[in-house]
Amino acid sequence: MTDEYASQKPQGYSNYLKKVAIIGATGHVGSHIVEHLLKNGKHEVTAITRKDSPAAIPDGIKVAKADYSEPSTLVEALRGQEALIITLGSKLIEAAATAGVPWVIPNEWGSDPSREDLANDTFLGPGRIAARKHIQDLGKSNFIGTCCGFWYEFSLAGSEIRYGFAFDFQKPRRHRVTFYDDGNPRSTPRRGRRLVVLPEDEEDRSSTLSRFKNRTVYISSFSVSQKDIFDSVLRVTGGVADDWTISYQPSVERYREGVEALQKGDMRGLGQALYARVFYQDGPGNYEARRALHNGVLGLPEEDLDKYTAVAVQLAKADFLNKE
């Protein structure tokens, strides 16, 4: 399939995805996707919800209720949609194919899928591969994968099992941080922003959908190590290193502990294993060093580390994990 350009299309053609359906519109990630889609002002956003869901859907979003045990209701909810943003699930993939939805954007926000060792060690690879294959085998939809690293603010504020930071604003000098190895391996996090669009003509090499057909989009906000994050936290809070209890742990050991905890039924172990594995010393989380990013192609701006560190600090102060 060759690249497509809006100038080659009939009059009245829109060079963007207008009708977008999303599963999980009120979730941690989905709510931010919806926010940016609505800000864009170009999209008709439909939230697909279970028929008995009590979730409060934001204004400006259409709601289509479906019974997940009745595939026909999912198909009906998806008819006429141009893109579906989903969590991985065979029923949703099949419903999208039956409804003729041309683009499916799976919930892959995370690590580089080309690193099979990383994908398998973090337990994300098999499901991702199966979903992509299912989409292609049905022959009705195309997928666009997204490699964007961890959600930075959530990861920093979200307890020590993630980026290794544990904030304690109740008592002085009680903050803790555990650096993986020496704290210098880099990871590439991102804040999600937008879907791809078609450019106006062949001179515009920006975001053609066909360019990303059944491929992965690589985007990032910044490439940082734990030490970089720590320095940013000190700048944002006006603190000093003496305010913190600092420890070090080999990333391999931390990963192993996480897997062992998960095997015993402690789901926190999954988070610990996932983050520790990305910070291994061979830099599996630093896909920016290996891949050409699509930030420029998608018109994504450079972002300021300290700005989003400040957001994370406020989330930690609000104890957001215990208010869900």
CB atoms near residue 219 (< 10 Å): 22
Identify the pLDDT of residue 114: 86
Is 287 in a helix, a strand, or coil? helix
- Reported pTM: 0.83
Identify the pLDDT of residue 234: 97
Instruction: Provide φ and ψ at 218, rounded to 5°.
Output: -110, 115
Identify the pLDDT of residue 228: 97
Q: How do beta strands 175-180 and 244-249 pair?
A: parallel
Supply angle C-alpha 124, 162, 49, rounded to 5.
55
Query: Which strands sit side by side in the sheet containing 244-249, from one edge to the other?
Result: 165-166, 175-180, 244-249
**Span 81-105, average pLDDT:** 91
What are the tokens at 318? 């609000």
As a whole number of angstroms, the distance between CA 27 and CA 300 comes to 23
Supply angle C-alpha 176, 304, 109, rounded to 5.
75
Percentage of the chain lying above the pLDDT 70 cut: 87
For residue 55, CA distances in Å to 26, 52, 58, 87 come to 7, 9, 10, 17
Identify the pLDDT of residue 246: 96
**pLDDT (tens digit, 9 = 90+) per residue, 226-244?**
999 999 999 999 999 999 9
Identify the pLDDT of residue 301: 81
> Is a pLDDT exceeding 80 seen at residue 66?
yes
Look at the domain 152-189+223-285+303-318 and name its fold.
UDP-galactose 4-epimerase; domain 1 (3.90.25)
- Which range (8-17, 40-49, 152-161, 212-221) has the least confidence? 8-17
**pLDDT (tens digit, 9 = 90+) per residue, 261-284?**
999 999 999 999 999 999 999 989
* pLDDT level of residue 194 (50, 70, 90 thresholds): very low
Domain at 6-148+191-218, CATH from 3.40.50.720, 3.40.50.300, 3.50.50.60, 3.20.20.80:
3.40.50.720
Nearest 10 degrees: Cα torsion 153, 159, 162, 165: 80
Q: Where exactly are the structural domains of the chain?
A: 6-148+191-218, 152-189+223-285+303-318
* pLDDT level of residue 321 (50, 70, 90 thresholds): confident
Average pLDDT, the chain: 86
For residue 36, CA distances in Å to 56, 191, 230 come to 18, 11, 29
**pLDDT (tens digit, 9 = 90+) per residue, 12-65?**
556 677 899 999 888 877 888 888 888 878 889 999 999 888 888 888 999 999
As a whole number of angstroms, the distance between CA 308 and CA 199 comes to 30
> Is a pLDDT exceeding 50 seen at residue 192?
no
